[in-house]
């Protein structure tokens, strides 16, 4: 009933089950009957786009649009424009030449990040801070995510992704290096910790 109830997990699960793009429509900003629901959706949307970028999905595959209930013409126009964007991007994974297994590994990793307690706690803190600032501008949301969440997100995402590849049977260090595209020293540290445990 409210765009603010969208969980970032829903977005990555939808991608995992075949969506090439996701459109989230909500009430116009400042007109939410739940007061700040659509501002919460903005925060979730920016977090999801950050995570999409980190795993190699073009953030243009996620669109948030604010529409009044009497703006059916605008809704149709927005959906048609979004459809054109997705059609131009092609199937999910095309940008990175992912095979189906790799695509599932990256999407599983993103889903696990969305369920991680520490990441959710940090995202909740960002939301609380933005509410107290009364500043929900995209630039401020992006800045807070970058300052308070991005480093932890990258570290956890890399660890989870390596574990996912290992579970898929990819244990060869060179292959993991190629698939994760991180520096050798960074991968070595995580790889050997995982292998030991």
For 22-48, write each residue's pLDDT tens digit. Answer: 999 888 877 777 767 788 889 999 999
Summarised one tens digit per residue, pLDDT across range 146-180 is 999 999 999 999 999 999 999 999 988 899 999 98
Domain count, the chain: 1
Comparing CA positions, the residue from 47, 39, 55 lying closest to residue 9 is 47
The rounded percent of the chain whose pLDDT value lies above 70 is: 99
More confident residue, 196 or 185: 185
pLDDT of residue 3: 83
Strand (E) or helix (H) holding 26? strand 22-26
Average pLDDT, the chain: 92
List the domain range (segments joined by +) for residue 29. 3-196
Q: Is-contact 194 163, C-beta < 8 A?
A: yes
Residue 104 to residue 82: CA distance in whole angstroms: 24
- Residue 189 pLDDT exceeds 90: no
- Residue 51 pLDDT exceeds 90: yes
Summarised one tens digit per residue, pLDDT across range 79-113 is 999 999 999 999 999 988 899 999 999 999 999 99
pLDDT of residue 106: 96
Calculate Rg over the CA atoms of the chain. Answer: 18
pLDDT of residue 34: 72
Dmax (CA) for the chain in angstroms is: 59
- Residue 71 pLDDT exceeds 80: yes
pTM, whole model, 2 decimals? 0.91
Comparing CA positions, the residue from 89, 109, 107 lying closest to residue 154 is 109
With tokens 């706690």, the residue in question is 121
Q: CB neighbours of 9 closer than 8 A, spacing ≥ 6?
A: 111, 114, 115
Provide the pLDDT confidence category of residue 194 given band limits of 50, 70 and 90: confident
**Other CB atoms within 10 Å distance of the CB of residue 119:** 20
With tokens 């579970």, the residue in question is 167
CA torsion 181-152-145-94 (nearest 10°) is 30
Residue 187 to residue 191: CA distance in whole angstroms: 6
Comparing CA positions, the residue from 31, 30, 32, 28 lying closest to residue 1 is 32
């Amino acid at each position: 009933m409210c765009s603010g109830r969208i969980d970032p997990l829903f977005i990555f699960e939808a991608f995992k089950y075949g969506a090439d793009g996701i459109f989230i429509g909500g009430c116009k900003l400042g007109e939410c009957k739940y007061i700040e629901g659509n501002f919460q959706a903005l925060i979730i949307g920016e977090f999801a786009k950050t995570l999409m970028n980190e795993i190699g999905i073009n953030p243009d595959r996620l669109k948030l649009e604010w529409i009044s209930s009497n703006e059916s013409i605008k809704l149709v126009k927005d959906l048609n424009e979004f459809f054109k964007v997705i059609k131009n991007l092609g199937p999910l994974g095309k940008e990175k030449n992912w095979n189906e297994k790799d695509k599932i590994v990256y999407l599983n990793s993103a889903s696990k990040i969305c369920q991680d307690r520490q990441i959710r706690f940090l995202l909740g803190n960002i939301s609380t801070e933005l509410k107290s600032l009364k500043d929900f501008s995209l630039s401020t949301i992006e800045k807070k995510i970058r300052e308070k969440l991005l480093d932890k997100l990258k570290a956890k995402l890399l660890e989870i992704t390596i574990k996912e590849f290992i579970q898929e049977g990819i244990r060869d260090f060179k292959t993991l290096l190629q698939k994760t595209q991180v520096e050798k020293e960074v991968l070595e540290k995580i790889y050997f910790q995982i292998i030991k445990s």
